[in-house]
């Protein structure tokens, strides 16, 4: 069964940076478009960044210019470099396939940005 394990979150001051990682197992990682999602308290989960199997990227408006998604197919890992963090970026961050059928969600990694 496919498994997603996110890591790298933490508490950071506004303006700081974090690098999130998501390790995927038991899927043909290199052939999947992947995405980073986030869910803030009381809000729906939203898609933040996408990376295609070919390495193309796209971002939500809230992430453009600040976040960078990348992948290492040899390690079956997708990354999210987050710079210039804002308090509104506070959320639990998850990775998953970009398109259905989604895999079972991992535990996510908490990102908290203090003002």
What the block records as the tokens of 105 is 């969600």
pLDDT tens digit sequence for 67-110 = 999 999 999 999 999 999 999 999 999 999 999 889 999 999 99
Task: Give the Cα separation of 107 and 61 in Å (integer).
Answer: 25
pLDDT in tens, 16-58: 999 999 999 867 788 899 999 999 999 999 999 999 999 999 9
Strands 10-13 and 91-97: unpaired
């Amino acid at each position: 069964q496919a498994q997603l394990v996110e890591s790298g979150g933490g508490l950071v001051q506004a303006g700081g940076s974090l690098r999130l990682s998501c390790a995927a197992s038991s899927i043909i990682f290199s052939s999947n478009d992947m995405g980073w999602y986030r869910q803030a308290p009381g809000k729906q989960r939203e898609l933040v960044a996408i990376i295609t199997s070919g390495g193309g990227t796209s971002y939500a408006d809230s992430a453009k210019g600040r976040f960078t998604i990348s992948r290492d197919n040899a390690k079956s890992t997708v990354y999210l470099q987050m710079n210039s963090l804002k308090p509104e970026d506070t959320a639990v961050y998850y990775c998953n396939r970009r398109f259905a059928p989604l895999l079972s969600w991992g535990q996510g990694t908490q990102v908290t940005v203090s003002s």
